[in-house]
Amino acid sequence: MALVRCPKCGKRFDPRRGRSLPFCSERCRLMDLDAWLSEENSLPIPREEEEEEERTTEAEDNDEE
């Protein structure tokens, strides 16, 4: 079977032996999770949705006053 590359560290490993797929180790898996939880990683929001969300938040803030 072909070796795969860990998306976090780039190390090549045998996926049949990996218990933390797609990562090579539990350490790389946890480092990736930390990056998402600390917002170092994020998914892009299309501009239209972002503007609509800002308008909704502003309207809610005005209603509370």
6/40 Cα distance (integer angstroms): 18
H or E stretch including 58? helix 47-64
Q: pLDDT band at 63, cuts 50/70/90?
A: low
pLDDT for 57? 73
Classify residue 54 as exposed, middle or buried by CB count within 10 Å of its CB (0-12, 13-18, 19+). exposed
pLDDT at 50 over 70: no
14-38, pLDDT tens digit by residue?
A: 999 888 999 999 999 999 999 999 9
pLDDT for 62? 65
Domains belonging to the chain, first-starting first, are 4-64 (3.30.50.10)
Pairing mode, strands 4-5 and 12-13: antiparallel
